[in-house]
Amino acid sequence: MADSRKPERPAFTEDDRAQFERLVSRYSRHVYVIAYRMTGNEADARDLAQEAFVRVWRAWHRIDPEARLEGWLYRIVSNLYIDLLRRRRGPRMHSLDEPMATASGELVRERLDPNADVERTVLDATVDRRIQEALLGLAPDLRMVVALADLEGYAYEEIAQMMRVPIGTVKSRLHRARRALRDRLAPIRASLREQ
């Protein structure tokens, strides 16, 4: 009887479990950060990070836990994010110039005063928010490249491997992303120039 209940795939051992825990401890924060850059909010980032590791666990017997898995994990996050957008029927992108529709009417986005005190501007948490908003205005593939290159500091070659695209694609996506961000981040830039 015991034989008939034996699963065809190898069972998880205590050693597997311990290795998985090490892997979670090593990568979970990086995965969360990149998920946050993609989704722009904590709840979705947490959900995506969890789901990414569930996928790792499901594929456990096909991976080498000692190999560098960042690229694979980031690809999973990217795919999960695209699934999330599909489930919500289309990306929720907002133009920074258009008023935001809210329950109590339209809200015009506040822009940074270019003459504001630079130190205050830099320290202000709104800078973070504005950067994240500007990122969310990019297409997901551009957003991932710019997040990996400019926020996480990966080299082009590493990004190309992670995203499984030619290095020329990384180069052109990053350039397009930066040009799109240039205008959106102009108010912050004006403050810095006065520094």
Please name which of 24, 26, 25, 35 lies closest in space to residue 75, comparing C-alpha atoms: 35
Residue in 91, 94, 169, 178 binding other proteins, rule: CB under 8 A: 178
Q: Which of residues 64-123 bind other proteins (CB under 8 A)?
A: 122
131 near other proteins, judged by CB under 8 A: yes
DSSP annotation of 63: S
- Is residue 135 a contact partner of residue 144, using CB atoms and an 8 Å limit? no
Q: What is the Cα–Cα distance from 37 to 39, expressed in whole angstroms? A: 6
188 near other proteins, judged by CB under 8 A: yes
Hey, how many other C-beta atoms are within 10 angstroms of the C-beta on 175? 13
Residue type at 105 in one-letter notation: G
59 near other proteins, judged by CB under 8 A: no
Residue 88 CB-density burial (10 A; 0-12 exposed, 13-18 middle, 19+ buried): exposed
44 near other proteins, judged by CB under 8 A: no
Residue closer to other proteins, measured from CB, 26 or 86: 26
Phi, psi of 15 (to 5 degrees): -65, -40
Residue in 38, 138, 149, 163 binding other proteins, rule: CB under 8 A: 149
Q: Which of residues 1-30 bind other proteins (CB under 8 A)?
A: 4-9, 11-12, 20-21, 24-25, 28-29
Please, what is the Cα angle at 137 between 84 and 29, to 5 degrees? Answer: 55
Residue closer to other proteins, measured from CB, 24 or 85: 24
Sequence-distant (≥ 6) Cβ neighbours of residue 148 within 8 angstroms: 34, 74, 154, 158, 159, 162, 163
Residue in 63, 100, 139, 192 binding other proteins, rule: CB under 8 A: 192
**What does the binding site for other proteins look like in residue numbers (CB under 8 A)?**
4-9, 11-12, 20-21, 24-25, 28-29, 32-33, 36-37, 42, 45-46, 49-51, 53-54, 56-58, 122, 127-128, 131-132, 146, 149-151, 155-156, 171-172, 174-175, 178-179, 181-182, 185, 188-189, 192-193
